Homo-oligomer: A and B are copies of this chain.
């Protein structure tokens, strides 16, 4: 139980909450802990977002696909983390991605109505949620304001960092070359040239169907330093 408290207090939306408050909460609120085996689907794209879901232990693979083209971006989140907190409210309350257990995973689920009561019970929870949503909402504005070179690397970095979250690992883009060229609005030869340059710079490894991002931070650097 000791270590469970510690795990919970590390969750992005529970940080800074007091031990007493957390005990009180656990007594009052139904916390559902669900175990998923390696390979099991946790969330499917277009599932309704009826619960907030936290990764307590294990690794979860998230993958999101373009609506009209065969380009998919995937990333790994490790516990303690949260899955898709942006989709509980707003215009679309469904997940835009698949989430699959990459290892055995412990997931904490809280029904939306209970989570709202948690937010109203203590400012720490509310602040954490408002901060997370605002940070995500600000991301695109500041990302766009920083666009400057219009290079293919910059455009790719913008797309991939927008679709992935802070702290994620093993980012991969699986693509059909024709479709990635379309999305970026470039010729095949320019795409290859840009990927080759990013590879030499140590940012990515790539084949004709897959790009492996070595570090999300390096992509963010492309976004904020090119000029």
Residues of A bordering B, CB below 8 Å? 64-69, 86-92, 96, 116, 119-120, 123, 126-127, 129-152, 154-155, 159, 162-163, 181-186, 227
In the bound assembly, the distance between CA atoms of A221 and B159 in angstroms comes to: 20
Sampled A-B contacts (17; CB under 8 Å): A67-B148, A68-B146, A87-B134, A89-B133, A89-B134, A90-B133, A91-B131, A92-B142, A116-B126, A133-B134, A137-B139, A139-B140, A140-B143, A147-B183, A148-B183, A150-B183, A150-B186
Q: Which of B89, B90, B134, B155 contacts A90 (CB 8 A)?
A: B134
Residues of B within 8 A of A136 (CB): 90, 137
- CB-nearest residue of chain B to A68: B148
Task: Give A52 Cβ to nearest chain B Cβ, in Å.
Answer: 12
- CB-nearest residue of chain B to A139: B140
Do residues A148 and B87 form an inter-chain contact, with CB atoms below 8 A? no
7 A-B pairs closest in CB distance? A150-B185, A90-B134, A140-B140, A136-B137, A133-B133, A89-B134, A137-B137
Residues of B within 8 A of A127 (CB): 89, 116
Task: Give A14 Cβ to nearest chain B Cβ, in Å.
Answer: 17
In the bound assembly, the distance between CA atoms of A141 and B69 in angstroms comes to: 15
Residues of B within 8 A of A87 (CB): 134, 138
